[in-house]
Structure 1
Amino acid sequence: MAITKKQKAVAEKVDREKLYSFDEALGVLREFASGKFDETVELAMNLGVDPRHADQMVRGMVSLPAGTGKNVKVAVFAKGDNAEKATAAGADKVGAEDLMEDMQAGNLDYDRVIATPDMMGVVGRLGKVLGPKGLMPNPKLGTVTPNVEQAVKDAKGGQVEYRVEKMGIIHTGIGKMSFKDADLKANFTKMTEAVVKAKPSGAKGKYVKKVSLTSSMGPGLKIDVSDIEGA
């Protein structure tokens, strides 16, 4: 996509080395916004961990107070009453062996997969399919649960998963450009607090090394880590 004159002018004003406050960075990204679509505001956190070691893995769920602005597609493995509850709560697809076969055939257009504990025998056969996509239900993340109704509501209501990648970086969306400044800041604060709280026992030295904020069409801006409590 070609850069507009307006975006070029803003880009020339961006100081790549400056440490911005969240409010300053968001102001720059708003200037840069194309206005052609509702851009996602994205957060990146470089952490002092090596996720190849189990005691340095950083992963969890957090409910963003202002939601994500995204329509989250949820699949649920459940039977009987639980299947009915999941459907009533707004799950996009609910099933058992039939859902497993559907996923094995390559139908994996979901953002979250949830399962009741009794369905893990079926779900376990999808490890090679769901694992690489980060969709495998996990009790620690609340995606293996007898309370599928609440899990679906949480997923649809702004709960997001964060997970550190190989290079020690967490990338996650924290809302849309159409959100109010205060809502984006609330989501940013909630996400950074959750990551700081999830500091693993094996992390040595500085935990939060770098933080940056960007948008779908915007520049990457360094955020002052000292603004993040506990970092």
Structure 2
Amino acid sequence: MAKLTKKAKTLATAVDVLKLHGIDEAIALAKTHATSKFDETIEVALNLGVDPRHADQMVRGVVTLPKGTGKTVRVGVFARGAKADEATAAGADVVGAEDLMDAIQGGKIDFDRCIATPDMMGLVGRLGKILGPKGLMPNPKLGTVTMNVAAAVEAAKGGQVEYRVEKAGIIHSGIGKASFPAEDLRANFDALVDAVVKAKPTGAKGKYVRKVAVSSSMGPGIKVDTAEVAGA
């Protein structure tokens, strides 16, 4: 186990690690413990009663955070002709076809989200081993394989985030920056939880949302009382 730094130990002792907090209190505490020189991200960890090794217990989707993410998101789009023009007009940062594939194969991935028109998936499929592990592979279920590239680009830049349950049954997601007003972070928290609850898989057994914690990038985890979490 990695040793805690002196600062981490100080922060951890400043929070009662056993106490369950209300959502608003947890967000306020997370903001208080965001003391780094950079604007830390406020993060949420949702421990779900699922085993993602089983296909009928996978939880994955997208949600638009109403108050945005506070991050500048670079978007890459695989498209040709008029659709490429639409993507560029909508604000895509990188647009291309074979040229974009060559750049990616050469090690240049200059985007955070990747979108493709359906006719480009034969090309994009060759990049699966590169884009897949980075979570960048376009997926029709996530709205990133679409003919409506303009809307997809605008959504990606307008606060839409992807969430996916990890092996341990936990979803990690940012809900904004520590500089955000507490009420904006709460609005984003509620939007994320609502989306995850609605995405409850058919194979989930027992209590769905088992544990919730809020933290800043460098701060301690602050436990949230799941009784306050709608749909838990």
Shift of 1:228: 1.0
For 2:51 and 2:166, the matched residues in 1 are separated by 9
- Determine whether 1:121 maps to 2:122: yes
TM value normalised by structure 1: 0.95
| Divergent runs of 4+, >2 A | 1-4, 10-13
Question: Is contact 2:42–2:174 with CA below 8 Å preserved after alignment?
Answer: yes
1:28 alignment counterpart:
29
What corresponds to 2:45 in structure 1? 44
8 A contact 2:214–2:221 mirrored in 1: yes
Q: Which residue is equivalent to 2:84?
A: 83
Q: Alignment partner of 2:7: what SS? A: coil
Deviation, 1:167, is 0.8
Q: 1: distance between equivalents of 2:36 and 2:181?
A: 15
Return the alpha-carbon distance in structure 2 between the equivalents of residues 31 and 160 of structure 1.
25
Q: Deviations over 1:171-222 (max 9, x none)?
A: 0100001111110000000000100110000111111111100001211011
Equivalences for residues 36-185 of structure 1 within 5 A: 36-185=37-186
Identity among equivalent pairs (%): 66
**How many residues of Structure 1 are paired with residues of Structure 2 in the alignment?**
228
Does 31-40 or 75-84 show the bigger shift? 31-40
* Matched position secondary structure for 2:38: coil
Structure 1 residue runs of 5 or longer lacking an equivalent are: none
Is the 2:76–2:110 Cα contact (8 Å) retained in structure 1?
no
User: How much does 1:70 deviate?
Assistant: 0.4
3-state SS of paired residue (1:191):
helix
* CA offset digits 1:122-164 (Å, max 9, x no partner): 1111111111111110101000000000000000000000000
Q: Which consecutive unaligned segments of at least 5 residues does structure 2 have?
A: none
Q: Which amino acid aligns with 2:115?
A: I
3-state SS of the aligned residue for 2:37? coil
Q: In structure 1, what residue type is equivalent to 2:204? A: A
Equivalent-residue separation in structure 1 for 2:15 and 2:99 (angstroms): 52
Contact preservation (8 Å) 2:94, 2:110: no
Amino acid at match of 2:104: M
Post-superposition shift, 1:60?
0.2
Show CA shifts across 1:42-76 (max 9, x none): 00001111111111100000000000000111100
**Quick one: distance in 1 between partners of 2:18 and 2:225?**
11
Secondary structure of the corresponding residue to residue 3 of structure 1: helix
Aligned match of 2:7? 3
RMSD over aligned Cα, in angstroms?
1.5
1:3 counterpart letter in structure 2 = K
Cα distance, 1:2 vs structure 2: 6.1
The TM-score, its normalising length taken from structure 2, stands at 0.94
Q: Helix, strand or coil: the match of 1:217?
A: coil
Residue 230 of structure 1: CA displacement?
Answer: 1.0
